[in-house]
A and B are shown apart, each in its own frame.
Chain A
Amino acid sequence: DVKVTQSSRYLVKRTGEKVFLECVQDMDHENMFWYRQDPGLGLRLIYFSYDVKMKEKGDIPEGYSVSREKKERFSLILESASTNQTSMYLCASSSPWGYTFGSGTRLTVV
């Protein structure tokens, strides 16, 4: 089975901190995605990557950046965390048959 692993299930960070969320997939998928999930808003795409060192902005990229130095790893970076970035963050990789999601990282910024 394809596995997408997010390094942390829960994180608590302080306002202004730089935060790294890590995601690793083991099926050699080219496309990887970062979403945030908020109640009533569903999933909103932050950034995605279709190849190593390639990235594209999604619908809500402000306040975030990403890094993809290796095919299997896609990192989401909050340059200066703010309380409105408190959310569930979901990483996914894709094949034509759909996405495989990680278990999510619930980030709280205090």
Chain B
Amino acid sequence: GEDVEQSLFLSVREGDSSVINCTYTDSSSTYLYWYKQEPGAGLQLLTYIFSNMDMKQDQRLTVLLNKKDKHLSLRIADTQTGDSAIYFCALGGPTDSWGKLQFGAGTQVVVTP
């Protein structure tokens, strides 16, 4: 989606933290998601945050939401080679939007030893 933007590529060294960023234009989103896609596979839901939250932490994952700047980020602590994948942010609208999500183009994360 043209209304959800992500950088296309991120390289990170094993053990470092990764930060994947996402900006969006539609402020009516109620749920904001991060998905992970490993090579040759479908998308796997990693985590989500409600629009009334600023932060959510789940083990190595931290999601930050800045509603004023319409900015969503995913931080992966102690990045491992298994974290190499494409990461998509996605925005879900109000309940009358039939559950449709707007996806970003995805960020390819490459973890180097």
Contact = CB atoms under 8 A, between A and B. Distances in A.
The finding on whether chains A and B are genuine partners in a shared complex, rather than unrelated, reads yes
Interface of A: 4, 6, 31, 33, 35, 40-43, 45, 48, 50, 56, 58, 90, 92, 94, 96-104
Contacts of B53: none
5 closest pairs, A vs B, by CB? A101-B42, A42-B105, A31-B99, A94-B99, A43-B103
B1 interface: yes
Contact of A90 (B33, B42, B92, B100): B42
A56 B100 CA distance: 11
Contact of B100 (A6, A48, A96, A100): A48
Secondary structure type dominating chain A contacts: strand
A52 B35 CA distance: 27
Interface residues of B, number: 23
B100 to A, nearest CB: 6
Interface stretch (B11-19, B43-51, B69-77): B43-51
Contacts, number: 61
Contacts of B42: 4, 6, 90, 101-104
Interface in B25-47: 31, 33, 35, 40-45
Given A99-B43, A101-B42, A42 B103 contact: yes
Contacts of B48: 97-98
Contacts of A48: 98-100
